[in-house]
A and B are shown apart, each in its own frame.
Chain A
Amino acid sequence: MATTKRPTWMGRPSATVKTAKALAIVFLIAIVVVPFWVVLATSFASNDDVTGNGGYVLWPMHPTTEAYQQVFTNGIVTKALIVSAAVTLLGTAISLAATVLLAYALARPGVYGGKPAMLFILFTFLVPPGIIPAYLVVQNLGLLDSYGSLVLPVLVNAFNVVIMRGFFQGIPEDLYSAARLDGAGEWRILTRVVLPLSKAVVAVVGLFYAVGYWNAFFNAILYLNDSSRWPLQAVLRLYVIQGAQLGDNTSDAGASIAPQSIQMAAVVVATVPILCVYPFLQRYFVKGVLTGAVKS
């Protein structure tokens, strides 16, 4: 096990302190892990497990994947999954492109219009426009009930621009001059010099956008009246939090599996993509975010 060396001047902690710290850490981990575990266990539980235990399961005695079969044969959930995946992929690509271009231009010292543009962006931190006027803008652009309303109103995040600009400014000026001497234009400098050096910050900002798109539900509820177009989180709200029936409970299949299990299976399905990208995020964000944020 890797350890950092304790400085010689620092005494070893007493047994009491050690135990207290260990308990505190176990507690912190438990309050995060236990809820996820209960959801996972309940999603794999049979109807008897769930009803026998009053609605939750710590360890499924008769594990079954029936809840997942129900979730994936449910047209509403599968459609919502496709919407969420498409919005996340397309939205992230467009957001990332707009952010990189803006941050790159703003990072060049003395660029024409750079200072007023920066103030223009920073001011948006100070006064958020409000829900009602934002709705009016979406309405006037004719975006109500279109998937564009899930992407365009949150296209660029000012904070991400600041992080990325800070990172680009940290790239030594010599590299820019060298590339320019070799005859490279701005576009070539961006794609061949800056972006390859900025993988960490691009990955982090991209994953921030992706997580944002994946987790969003309020824009969908606000802008999409037609609930058949809703992304996964909005559907989850309706069926899991508000308790509408999910799954086909009129047929025999519905009787063999508790509604809680189906709900929890849907929750797992919505959480797994986050858990999949999380290790990558984890690896990059301290490096990417902190260097960017501390600078600016």
Chain B
Amino acid sequence: MNRGDVRRSRLRRDALLVLLMVPGLAYFLVFHYGALAGNVIAFEDYVPFIGVWDSAWIGIGNFAKMVGDAAFWNSAANTVSISTLQILFFFPVPLIVALLVHSLTNTTVKRWVQSVVYLPHFISWVIVVTLFQQMLGGTGLLNGLLGDAGLDPVEVIGNPDLFKPLVVAQVVWKEFGWGTIIYLAALHQVDEQLLEASAMDGAGWWRRLWHVTLPSLRPVIVLLLILRLGEMLSVGFEQFILQRDAVGPQAGEVLDTFVYYSGVVNGNWGYAAAAGLVKGLIGAVLIYAANRVAHRLGEQGVYR
């Protein structure tokens, strides 16, 4: 049998399995690769009525326009600063909470705490934003309590100056519990004998944490940090589309909402696609670079 025959007989053997893959692969082909190809309009003066094939080709015109567009740079700056705040203030929280939960010896309490803190992850952004309005808004719980205490009300919702801390607080609230899952799984893998041996040698709780537990968690921490760094330009979309109008674009515009408003809302399709493409490509480079750095540090990274 020559090569071609082997391949044909393998195909005949696996025909049904290949057929099973078709719906799923067709989805990725159309909605990911088809859309990726649609990025050509970033190089066009795309007019919806004329279509992708016949719209005027303008080369890098859209990208050139982006360089001089203050609104684009404003959204990029907002995105990066919110991302940085998320890494500083959100990233460590699940680890700390996981250490706390792991230290509980009462399994009933442990299970209840876990059930409660995972819950916000499954709530839609619409509801999360509503809950925050109800807690921190002008007529919310916070200002009610402040009023009862005879203090002045604080304007949190719709205040451009407090927008960045607010959105980071929302991410912390929604995801801190869910983020503990992977750390809790990793904490179960920590070598009991190492902990015991170091306790024998007189290491207290802090020393065991610093010299045994945290080093064991290092691969997980590095992996999650890489993933987060790779997502530097994606701070979340639904959360911002819900709240951008309340604070205005100066404070509330991020790259994703910038793309949405310039394209879908204002009809600058080619320009918006160009901004989205730049964002996607930088994101891919960031993931790749972060992964290289991880390998340099001797960690497993996301992929090999």
Identify the A interface with B (CB < 8 A): 1-7, 9-10, 21, 24-25, 28-29, 31-36, 38-39, 42, 53-56, 58, 97-99, 101-102, 104-106, 108, 111-113, 117, 120-122, 124, 126-137, 139, 141, 152-153, 155-156, 158, 161, 185-187, 211, 214-218, 221-222, 233, 236-237, 240-242, 260, 263-264, 267, 270-271, 274, 278, 281-282, 286, 289-290, 294
Contact = CB atoms under 8 A, between A and B. Distances in A.
B264 interface: yes
A102 B21 contact: yes
28 contacts: A2-B107, A3-B107, A9-B200, A33-B116, A35-B132, A36-B131, A38-B134, A55-B140, A56-B141, A102-B23, A105-B21, A112-B17, A120-B25, A121-B28, A127-B280, A127-B283, A130-B276, A131-B263, A131-B272, A132-B272, A135-B263, A135-B264, A137-B38, A215-B126, A216-B124, A236-B126, A271-B127, A278-B122
A133 B38 contact: yes
A5 B14 CA distance: 51
B35 A134 contact: yes
Given A111-B14, A218-B238, 7 more contacts: A9-B196, A25-B113, A29-B116, A98-B24, A124-B28, A186-B17, A241-B129
A171 B108 CA distance: 31
10 nearest CB pairs, A to B: A55-B139, A102-B24, A133-B38, A129-B35, A130-B276, A215-B124, A112-B14, A133-B35, A101-B20, A35-B131
Contacts of B283: 127-128
Interface string B63-97: 00000000000000000000000000000000001
Given A38-B134, A113-B18, A153-B31, A222 B264 contact: yes
Interface string B262-304: 0110000100110011011101100110000000000000010
B250 interface: no
B140 A56 contact: yes
A111 B106 CA distance: 47
A50 B196 CA distance: 57
Nearest to B189: A294
Nearest to A102: B24
Contacts of B120: 32
B20 A126 contact: no
A214 B17 contact: no
A205 to B, nearest CB: 13
Contact of A124 (B32, B123, B173): B32
B109 interface: yes
A130 B35 contact: yes
Contacts of B272: 131-132
B124 A131 contact: no
Interface in B128-185: 129-135, 137-141, 143-144, 147, 173, 177, 181, 185
Interface string B179-223: 001000100000010011001100000000000000000000000
Given A102-B20, A102-B25, A112 B31 contact: no
Contacts of B124: 214-217, 233, 270
A240 B131 CA distance: 10
A21 B256 CA distance: 40
B2 interface: no
B83 to A, nearest CB: 16
B118 interface: yes
A282 B27 contact: no
Q: Which of B10, B20, B52, B129 has the most CB of A within 10 A?
A: B20
B35 A136 contact: yes
Contact of B199 (A10, A31, A233): A10
B242 to A, nearest CB: 6
Interface residues of B, number: 98
Contacts of B41: 132-133, 136
Interface string B21-46: 10111011011101111110100000
A10 B208 CA distance: 11
B280 A98 contact: no
Contacts of A2: 106-108
Contacts of A214: 124
Given A105-B17, A112-B13, A136 B52 contact: yes
Nearest to A20: B100
A108 B115 CA distance: 35
A34 B141 CA distance: 10
Contacts of A124: 28, 32
A38 B38 contact: no
A129 B39 contact: yes
Given A105-B17, A218-B238, A112 B27 contact: no
B107 A7 contact: no
Contacts of A290: 181, 185
B181 A156 contact: no
B130 A241 contact: yes
Contacts of A155: 27, 31
A63 B120 CA distance: 26
Highest count of chain B CB atoms <10 Å: which of A25, A31, A161, A233: A25
B263 A112 contact: no
Nearest to A99: B24
Contacts of A263: 130
Contacts of A6: 105
Contacts of A113: 14, 18, 21
